[in-house]
């Protein structure tokens, strides 16, 4: 089953987000993962994205598409490709954690959510036994989301698949804002206000902007030629 990876990478001290070397290595990582899943599982439309956290400048999200959890955790993790990437970027950043979501990007277009002016990443930690209620709540909110964002395509997400024994059910949503007026207020979640919080132990929300590593590399090449 195709899944979406959500990785949390941490910049090492002394590595600025504007480093041309870092951005070039992030582009290499993007292309390496896309090529691996295309060859291994026929996932030829995979698009891996780097998103820079606004609230925590040392945090970078990695959002990608794999043919399955096993393809990433087993086939790619122990591959020579991954070992090369670890050597390439290990001095610049490390990984805090990563997991996978029930989000098949071959069926759901995430462009509006991840390639917008700004993306809100919302992690909902669901109370025991409340997953069904949360799923119904999200479905009921879709029309309101269309009115607020102009389309429901700007709101995508999925349930976390790989969890530790003590981890709660977790619903992760990506919300793309095309303009300042669409940005969620501090007290808001996609699923409602205080009434919706009855279903959750906590909700974590951050904002991120896309790192256009391909454009950055093009600019570096042009500067070198001038």
Question: pLDDT digits over 5-56, tens only?
Answer: 999 999 999 999 999 999 999 999 999 999 999 999 999 999 999 999 999 9
For the chain, give the percent of residues with pLDDT over 70: 88
> Does the pLDDT value for residue 152 go beyond 80?
no
> Does the pLDDT value for residue 225 go beyond 50?
no
Structure confidence by residue, pLDDT tens digits, 114-140: 998 899 999 999 999 999 999 999 988
The secondary structure of residue 165, as a DSSP letter, is T
Confidence at residue 183, expressed as pLDDT on a 0 to 100 scale: 60
> Does the pLDDT value for residue 214 go beyond 80?
yes
Can you list the domains of the chain with their CATH numbers?
Answer: 3-214 (3.30.70.100)
Q: Where residue 226 falls among pLDDT bands split at 50, 70, 90?
A: very low
- Report how far residue 30's alpha carbon sits from residue 185's, in angstroms, rounded to the nearest whole number: 32
User: Looking at residues 64-91, what average pLDDT do you find?
Assistant: 98
Q: Whole-number mean pLDDT of the chain?
A: 89
Confidence at residue 164, expressed as pLDDT on a 0 to 100 scale: 80
Question: Are the C-beta atoms of 209 and 142 separated by less than 8 Å?
Answer: no
Within the chain, how many helices (H) and strands (E) appear?
6, 8
């Amino acid at each position: 089953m195709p899944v979406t990876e959500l990785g949390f990478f941490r910049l090492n001290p002394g590595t600025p987000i504007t480093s041309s070397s870092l951005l070039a290595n992030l582009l290499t990582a993007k292309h390496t993962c896309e090529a691996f899943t295309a060859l291994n599982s026929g996932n030829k439309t995979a698009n891996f994205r780097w998103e820079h956290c606004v609230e925590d400048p040392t945090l970078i999200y990695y959002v990608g598409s794999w043919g399955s959890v096993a393809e990433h955790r087993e086939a790619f993790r122990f591959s020579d490709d991954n070992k090369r990437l670890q050597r390439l970027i290990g001095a610049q950043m490390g990984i805090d954690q990563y997991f996978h979501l029930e989000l098949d990007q071959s069926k759901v277009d995430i462009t509006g959510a991840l390639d917008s002016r700004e993306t809100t990443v919302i992690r909902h930690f669901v109370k025991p036994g409340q997953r069904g209620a949360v799923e119904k709540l999200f479905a009921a909110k879709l029309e309101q989301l269309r009115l607020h964002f102009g389309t429901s395509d700007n709101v995508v997400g999925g349930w976390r698949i790989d969890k530790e024994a003590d981890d709660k059910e977790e619903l992760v949503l990506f919300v793309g804002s095309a303009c300042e007026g669409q940005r969620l207020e501090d007290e808001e979640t996609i699923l409602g206000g205080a009434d919706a919080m009855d279903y959750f132990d906590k909700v974590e929300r951050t904002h991120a902007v896309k790192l256009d590593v391909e454009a950055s590399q093009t600019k570096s090449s042009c500067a070198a030629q001038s």
